[in-house]
């Protein structure tokens, strides 16, 4: 029962979303919430955060509990012979007298031997490896943040494309319906004219053929709208049949812009710069392997070793502190790795220069496309207005009997083509607007200004 309640609480917001008319902002919000690529980018950013903490932790001392143990059956004896020892006077010279020193025999055994204690290691100088590692982790974190921004931009544009495709399908369905209504009205008029003997049966068949084409076009636009709605539902993470309605219009967008080829704000450009810096830091880390290493070592613990007469002869509690210094003398592998890192850094700089030029070319192309799309909309608007006026005049002339049915049908067909071209031009201008702002690296606020 508890699981059923949790499932209903989870599905309730989705059911509510499915019943409302979605705007583009709603679709983008849902896409960012449900998109797995965005979630993966956030996980990468969190991983980079913990990697940076781990890198800075290398500055801190390392404290560990160490212990060793073993058992040996080794044993033995130590014999010291006795004798007479000369006696030394206060002046340091022998007095001629002697003292008796008896012999001694010591038996020892090893048995269990172990040592345990605390060990602390504090790096003092690691050839710059720790500092370079901290800087590298900071660069990796900045790359992860830019990757989130890049992924979100891609999701926004892809969702907006799917939304625009749905708007295109809705607008074309409206145009197809309007054309179908015109033909229905014309068919009724021609049918009455045929009954009165004013028009021939062939004229009615011509209109009927056009009507069949219109019905097919209406069916196609209906199917296109359904598929576009399912595609949008896929992008925003909802069931495919859950998008019942949308606002059915493009958001109000200010299409005025100043052409710019500056791509420095683009996430890809910042990732390229950060990647070059990362390769430079990796070269510094490789270089540290051929530099001296210095560290402080300290330990405190207990040792249980050789026993003589049940006494711990070489053990007990003790404390140790010292400095460890390692100076590489010959390490050809480390030198080769350093040279390899230098070459990879040089290659990264070349790749950055090449890809930055490609990004500038994309921005220039996107600006040109948006500029041309604006002209296409103005041209399509004029063509649609001209086609509508031509259809009105042709209809008046047809009803007055001074124009043929074929000419009137042709005028209607031209109007249909002009209206569809206007829909395509408006959708294309919106798509090019998105592509341009993505190409120049505009922030999400601009992309979501609608």
Alpha carbons 64 and 188: distance in angstroms, whole number? 95
Alpha carbons 320 and 304: distance in angstroms, whole number? 16
Q: How many other CB atoms sit within 10 Å of the CB of residue 421?
A: 17
Q: What share of the chain is helix, strand, coil (3-state, %, to 5)?
A: 65, 20, 15
Query: What pLDDT score was predicted for residue 23?
Result: 81
- CA dist 342 → 278, 279, 286 (Å): 12, 8, 9
**Vertex 114: Cα angle to 113 and 117 (nearest 5):** 160
Structure tokens at 129: 């490896």
- Residues 70/114, Cβ–Cβ less than 8 Å: yes
Calculate Rg over the CA atoms of the chain: 43
Of the candidates 297, 300, 298, 299, the one whose C-alpha atom is nearest the C-alpha of residue 325 is 297
DSSP classification of residue 258? -
Structure tokens at 45: 């950013």
Query: What pLDDT score was predicted for residue 336?
Result: 86
Query: What pLDDT score was predicted for residue 403?
Result: 83
- The CB-side HSE value for 100 (13 A sphere, CA atoms) comes to 1
Structure tokens at 83: 């004798």
Q: Residue 415 — φ and ψ, nearest 5°?
A: -65, -45
Strands (E) located in 353-412: none
By DSSP bridging, strand 311-312 and strand 104-125 are: unpaired
Structure tokens at 85: 């020892």
**Vertex 159: Cα angle to 153 and 162 (nearest 5):** 145
Query: What pLDDT score was predicted for residue 8?
Result: 37
Of the candidates 162, 158, 172, the one whose C-alpha atom is nearest the C-alpha of residue 22 is 162
Structural domains for the chain = 21-60+126-291+328-447 (1.20.1600.10)
Alpha carbons 133 and 117: distance in angstroms, whole number? 31
- Residues 408/231, Cβ–Cβ less than 8 Å: no
Orientation angle between helical segments 201-236 and 405-439, nearest 10 degrees: 20
Alpha carbons 434 and 154: distance in angstroms, whole number? 10
Alpha carbons 302 and 319: distance in angstroms, whole number? 9
3-state secondary structure of 114: strand
Q: What is the torsion angle, in degrees rounded to the nearest 10, for the CA atoms of residue 110, residue 112, residue 118 and residue 124?
A: 50
Q: Residue 239 — φ and ψ, nearest 5°?
A: -55, 145
- Residues 203/190, Cβ–Cβ less than 8 Å: yes
Structure tokens at 447: 């992309």
DSSP classification of residue 251? P
Alpha carbons 175 and 248: distance in angstroms, whole number? 13
Query: What pLDDT score was predicted for residue 241?
Result: 74
- Residues 135/280, Cβ–Cβ less than 8 Å: no
Each residue's pLDDT expressed in tens, for the chain with a length of 450 residues = 444 333 334 334 444 444 457 788 888 888 888 888 888 999 999 999 998 888 888 888 888 888 887 777 766 666 667 667 777 877 777 777 777 767 666 666 667 777 788 888 888 878 788 888 888 889 999 999 999 988 888 888 888 899 999 999 999 999 999 989 988 888 888 888 887 877 778 888 888 898 899 899 999 999 998 998 888 888 888 887 776 566 667 777 777 777 777 788 888 889 999 999 999 988 888 888 888 888 888 888 777 665 555 555 556 777 778 888 888 887 778 888 888 889 999 999 999 999 999 999 998 998 999 999 999 999 999 999 999 999 999 888 888 888 888 888 899 999 999 999 999 999 999 999 888 888 888 765 555 554
By DSSP bridging, strand 311-312 and strand 307-308 are: antiparallel
Query: What pLDDT score was predicted for residue 325?
Result: 83
């Amino acid at each position: 029962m508890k699981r059923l309640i949790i499932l209903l609480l989870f599905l309730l917001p989705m059911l509510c979303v499915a019943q409302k008319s979605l705007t583009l902002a709603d679709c983008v919000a849902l896409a960012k919430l449900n998109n797995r690529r965005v979630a993966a980018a956030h996980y990468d950013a969190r991983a980079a955060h913990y990697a940076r903490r781990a890198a800075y932790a290398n500055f801190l001392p390392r404290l560990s509990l160490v212990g060793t143990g073993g058992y040996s059956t080794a044993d033995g004896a130590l014999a010291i012979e006795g004798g007479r020892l000369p006696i030394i006077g206060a002046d340091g010279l022998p007095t001629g007298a002697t003292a008796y020193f008896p012999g001694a025999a010591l038996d020892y055994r090893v048995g269990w031997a172990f040592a345990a204690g605390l060990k602390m290691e504090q790096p003092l100088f690691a050839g710059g490896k720790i500092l370079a590692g901290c800087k590298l982790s900071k660069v990796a974190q900045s790359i992860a943040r830019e990757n989130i921004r890049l992924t979100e931009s891609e999701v926004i544009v892809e969702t907006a494309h799917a939304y625009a495709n749905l708007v295109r399908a809705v607008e074309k369905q409206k145009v197809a319906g309007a054309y179908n209504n015109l033909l229905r009205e014309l068919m009724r008029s021609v049918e009455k004219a045929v009954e009165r003997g004013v028009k021939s049966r062939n004229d009615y068949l011509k209109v009927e053929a056009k009507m069949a084409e219109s019905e097919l076009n209406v069916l196609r636009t209906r199917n296109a709208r359904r598929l576009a709605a399912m595609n949008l539902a896929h992008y925003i993470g909802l069931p495919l049949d859950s998008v019942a309605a949308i606002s059915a219009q493009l958001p109000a967008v200010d299409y005025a812009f100043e052409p710019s080829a500056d791509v420095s704000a683009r996430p890809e450009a910042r990732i390229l710069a950060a990647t070059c810096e990362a390769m430079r830091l990796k070269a510094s880390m490789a270089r540290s392997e051929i530099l001296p290493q210095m560290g402080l070592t300290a330990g405190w613990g207990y040792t249980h070793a050789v026993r003589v007469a049940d006494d711990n002869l070489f053990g007990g509690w003790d404390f140790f502190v010292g400095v460890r210094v390692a100076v590489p003398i010959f390490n050809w592998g480390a030198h080769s790795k350093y040279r390899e890192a230098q070459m990879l850094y040089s290659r990264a700089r070349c790749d950055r220069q090449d890809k930055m030029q490609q990004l500038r070319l994309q921005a220039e192309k996107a600006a040109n496309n948006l500029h041309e799309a604006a002209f296409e909309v103005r041209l399509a608007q004029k063509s649609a207005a001209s086609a509508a006026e031509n259809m009105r005049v042709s209809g008046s002339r047809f009803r007055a009997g001074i124009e043929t049915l074929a000419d009137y049908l042709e005028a209607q067909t031209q109007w249909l083509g002009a209206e569809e071209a206007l829909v395509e031009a408006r959708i294309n201008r919106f798509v090019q607007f998105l592509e341009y702002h993505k190409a120049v690296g505009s922030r999400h606020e601009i992309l979501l200004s609608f």
